[in-house]
Amino acid sequence: QSWTIVPGFTHHAHSASLSAVAVNNRYVVTGSRDETIQIYDMKKKIEHGALLQHNGTITCLEFYGTAHLLSGAEDGLICIWNTKRWECLKSIKAHKGQVTSLSIHPSGKLALSVGTDKTLSMVCTDEGIVTWNLVEGRSAFIKNLKQNAQLIKWSPDGERYVTVIANKVDIYRLDTASVSGTITTERRISSLRFITDSILAIAGDDEIIRFYSCDSQKCLCEFKAHENRIKDIYTFEREGQHVIVTASSDGYIKMWNLDLDKIQDVPSLLCEVNTKARLTCLAVWLDEASEMKEDSDKAAASSQAKEDEESSTVKKNKALWTDASGKTAKKKRKTIPEKQKLEAPLQKKKKKQNIST
């Protein structure tokens, strides 16, 4: 089944180009070269406010759950925000240079960041990120890198993390803190995303998306996705369907259907849209309330279909309605007086309204 993409909410967010975007179940936050973080309430489809803690371009944003946001910028700071009151709980000097990327461990107890000072920094707490407003956030250790890393990402299970330096991906094991493998591509890597705990989607300064195994470091599949370099990748799962979303400098956003059981096969294109803009970053906000309503509607429809099937054996010369107890009553039409025929549908409608109320 083909999908369609339509504009849902559009706003002139910043006075300069956007450099980062992040989402949780309610908010979308965007970072820019204008040194501000803008907040949007997606439930109400309105602008919610701005955060002005950083000096310099906002380089990375990441939510942890519904209560906290981490931001990094050119000033070398990592800021921890409470998303209930939108106040800065802690500002940590993580790097001497700019913060280029950060990633929060699935447990919330530590976050990794990389910067232009050729270091990898770990910030952790004793109690976890959810209590960073209660305990002091601190730098646990700093690891020197041979070159500046532009990306860092935890795997979904938190057992490994990857760093990107130019066209090389180093895979680290958490238990050994050492490199367990390296993936090298021909062109500079601009984006990567874990599809599963052990499969990476990698895109770079070309039009190709490649899937790699973290265990064997072998390329499982590659395909041409765009006509220009790919700037960002996002993945999500809905109703058992794995979807990859890609954004390119050619202005197109594309959505692909991925069959994990046939990872070697090229994903099928679900839909695409030409934004007529030079895209820089991408995120996907899923309306959980709509999904829950959709699931509820499907369950109700399935239940109704079952009831309709059970009642299909009733002869056409019989009338049906629901009494106050919810039981279906049956009467032959020939036994219903003319006046009662008119009152029955009204009575049925009224009782249904009472039950739903």
39-66 confidence digits (pLDDT tens): 999 999 999 999 999 999 999 999 998 8
Q: What is the mean pLDDT of residues 264-281?
A: 93
DSSP, collapsed to helix, strand or coil, labels residue 310 as helix
Question: Which pLDDT band, with edges at 50, 70 and 90, does 138 fall under?
Answer: low
- Highest average pLDDT, of 104-118, 201-215, 285-299, comes from 201-215
Q: Alpha-carbon distance 354 to 357, whole Å?
A: 5
Q: Which residue has the higher pLDDT, 59 or 338?
A: 59
- Whether the pLDDT of residue 330 is over 50: the answer is no
| pLDDT of res. 140 | 58
Question: Which pLDDT band, with edges at 50, 70 and 90, does 326 fall under?
Answer: very low
Q: Alpha-carbon distance 215 to 213, whole Å?
A: 5
- Whether the pLDDT of residue 32 is over 90: the answer is yes
Q: Token match 């008119």: residue?
A: 342
Q: Token match 């590659």: residue?
A: 222
Contact 183, 163 (CB under 8 A): no
The percent of residues in the chain predicted with pLDDT above 90, rounded, is 55
Q: Alpha-carbon distance 107 to 187, whole Å?
A: 33
Q: Alpha-carbon distance 168 to 166, whole Å?
A: 6
Question: Which pLDDT band, with edges at 50, 70 and 90, does 299 fall under?
Answer: low
- 129 found inside a domain: yes
- 292 found inside a domain: no
Alpha-helix runs per DSSP H in the chain? 288-311, 338-356
Which residues constitute the domain of residue 58? Answer: 18-230
Structure tokens at 74: 């050119």
| pLDDT of res. 93 | 86
Long-range pairs, 285-291, Cβ under 8 A, ≥24: 285/23, 285/28, 285/42, 286/25, 286/236, 286/238, 287/42, 288/25, 289/43, 291/238
Question: Which pLDDT band, with edges at 50, 70 and 90, does 24 fall under?
Answer: very high
Q: What is the mean pLDDT of residues 275-281?
A: 92
- 140 found inside a domain: yes
CATH of the domain at 205: 2.130.10.10
In whole numbers, what is the pLDDT of the chain averaged over residues? 80
Q: Which residue has the higher pLDDT, 342 or 17?
A: 17
Q: What is the pTM of this model?
A: 0.75
Number of domains in the chain: 1
Contact 254, 271 (CB under 8 A): yes
- Whether the pLDDT of residue 27 is over 60: the answer is yes
Q: What is the mean pLDDT of residues 238-258?
A: 92
| Residues 79-131: tens digit of each pLDDT | 999 999 999 988 888 888 899 999 999 988 888 999 998 888 887 654 443 33
| pLDDT of res. 4 | 87
- 309 found inside a domain: no
Backbone angles phi, psi at 267, to 5 degrees: -60, 150
- 89 found inside a domain: yes
Using alpha carbons only, what angle is made at residue 254 by residues 281 and 244, rounded to the nearest 5 degrees? 80
Q: Which residue has the higher pLDDT, 344 or 305?
A: 305
- 11 found inside a domain: no
Q: Alpha-carbon distance 79 to 86, whole Å?
A: 12
- 318 found inside a domain: no
Q: What is the mean pLDDT of residues 183-206?
A: 93
Q: Which residue has the higher pLDDT, 343 or 96?
A: 96
- Whether the pLDDT of residue 220 is over 80: the answer is yes
Q: Alpha-carbon distance 51 to 82, whole Å?
A: 11
- 171 found inside a domain: yes
Structure tokens at 320: 């049906």
